[in-house]
């Protein structure tokens, strides 16, 4: 009996190792990326309707994980088609020239149970900055859910030019919130 | 003829000024295309003013529940008393319905109200695009109804002042007219 059990365990371990070697498949219906900005101190959370997220994650070897997120800046939905058109213009995202914002991880380190510290490069409107943020990972119905928040300063990426550089109207601090659900 | 009490007179005129100001701001801000500093500023002022109207209306309703308004002129026909009563009920309803429809419109659009940029007011509902579109229309038409009824209210007041000369309007004027003082 003992050799059989050992074989079984070996097979299972081998299978799971194989499974994690393949990048996870993102479930767009259960994933979201949004930004919370403050307008005259009014917090507004607005979603990016179109983005792709690619995550390689191995629970056994979290340090080997990789993540890439690409966001269509013109898909930022602040609640009204007329406003959305404005936000895609030159002063804000300039989506004609910079259609995509991206995040590419450079290092992922375990930080306790269900937690990772992610560092990477965030590129928006042609500007790239190194960012670090905590990421929570949990299993939910056979899928992995990655959730986190990344506070940024919009002016560091030239988002809001001209009169909009005045942060008394729209605050410099913006929090990018995301939740990515992915399955092997 | 008896006059309204001072709290009632003060509330009436404060609310009158606040409603006219809020209504005007609403027209101005919705006329601005796209997004501009002015539009954001006016929109927030409009919301603060609307919440102020709501609070003053609540105080006024309390006053009205515990006080009887002064008598009308004896010569006033029954149909006019009935019409005045109905119009006042509608004005009271709209003093609440107009700001509340605007408040929920703002919430449904995903924009909470932060009173004077300082006090976050309750977020009673989350963003809801369908409800937002409904409430936009509701808020607009309630305002148009209010504008029409206020015009009727003002016309009736001036009719009492200039045609009937029965002292009905003087009951609500902030300062007694010389004739009343004697």
Q: State pTM to two decimals.
A: 0.86
Residue-level pLDDT, tens digit, chain B, 182 residues: 789 999 999 999 999 999 999 999 999 999 999 889 999 999 999 999 999 999 999 999 999 999 989 999 899 999 999 999 999 999 999 999 999 999 999 999 999 999 999 999 999 999 999 999 999 999 999 999 999 999 999 999 999 999 999 999 999 998 876 665 44
> Which residues 72-101 of A have a C-beta within 8 angstroms of B?
78-80, 82-83, 85-87
**Into how many domains does chain B fold?**
1
Q: Which member of B110, B117, B132 has the closest CB to residue A46?
A: B110
- Interface predicted TM-score of the whole assembly (ipTM), two decimals: 0.83
Closest CA to A92 of A108, A115, A74: A74
Answer yes or no: are the C-beta atoms of A73 and A99 closer than 8 Å.
yes
CATH number, domain of B132, equals 1.20.950
Give residue A34's domain range. 23-183
**How many inter-chain contacts (A to B, CB under 8 Å) are there?**
47
C-alpha distance from B38 to closest chain A C-alpha (Å): 10
Which residues of chain A neighbour B127 with C-beta distances below 8 Å?
45, 79
Asked if residue B76 is part of any domain, the answer here is: no
Boundaries of domain holding B47 = 6-70+92-176
A79–B129 CB contact, under 8 Å: yes
Q: How far is B170 from chain A (nearest CA, A)?
A: 42
**A173 shares contact with chain B (CB less than 8 Å):** no
Alpha helices in B32-169 (DSSP H): 37-66, 78-108, 129-158
Residues contacting A55, CB < 8 A, separation 6+: A23, A24, A26, A65, A66, A67, A68, A144, A146, A180, A182
**Residue A128: inside a domain:** yes
């Amino acid at each position: 009996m003992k050799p059989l059990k050992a074989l079984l365990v070996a097979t299972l371990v081998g299978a799971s190792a194989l499974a994690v070697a393949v990048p996870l498949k993102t479930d767009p219906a259960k994933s979201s990326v949004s930004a919370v900005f403050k307008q005259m101190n009014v917090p507004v959370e607005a979603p990016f309707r179109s983005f792709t997220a690619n995550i390689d994650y191995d629970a056994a070897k979290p340090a080997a994980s990789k993540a890439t997120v690409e966001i269509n800046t013109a898909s930022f939905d602040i609640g009204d088609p007329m406003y959305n058109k404005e936000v895609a213009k030159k002063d804000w995202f300039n989506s004609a020239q910079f259609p995509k914002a991206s995040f590419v991880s450079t290092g992922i380190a375990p930080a306790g149970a269900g937690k990772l510290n992610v560092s990477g490069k965030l590129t928006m409107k042609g500007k790239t900055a190194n960012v670090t943020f905590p990421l929570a990972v949990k299993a939910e119905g056979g899928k992995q859910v990655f959730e986190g928040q990344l506070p940024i300063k919009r002016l560091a990426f030239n988002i809001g030019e001209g009169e909009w550089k005045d942060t008394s109207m729209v605050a410099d601090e913006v929090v990018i919130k995301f939740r990515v659900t992915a399955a092997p | 003829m008896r006059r309204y009490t001072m709290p009632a007179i003060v509330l009436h005129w404060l609310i009158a000024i606040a409603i006219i100001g809020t209504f005007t701001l609403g027209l101005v801000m919705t006329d601005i295309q796209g997004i501009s500093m002015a539009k954001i500023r006016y929109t927030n002022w409009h919301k603060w003013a609307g919440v102020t109207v709501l609070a003053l209306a609540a105080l006024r309703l309390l006053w009205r529940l515990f006080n009887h308004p002064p008598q009308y002129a004896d010569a006033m026909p029954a149909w006019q008393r009935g019409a005045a009563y109905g119009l006042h009920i509608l004005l009271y309803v709209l003093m609440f319905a107009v700001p509340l429809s605007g408040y929920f419109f703002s919430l449904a659009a995903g924009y909470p109200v932060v009173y004077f940029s300082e006090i976050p007011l309750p977020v009673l509902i989350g963003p809801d695009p369908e409800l937002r579109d409904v409430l936009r229309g509701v808020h607009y038409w309630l305002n148009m109804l209010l504008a029409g009824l206020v015009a009727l209210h003002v016309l009736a007041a001036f009719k009492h002042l200039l045609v009937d000369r029965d002292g009905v309007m003087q009951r609500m004027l902030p300062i007694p007219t010389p004739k009343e003082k004697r």
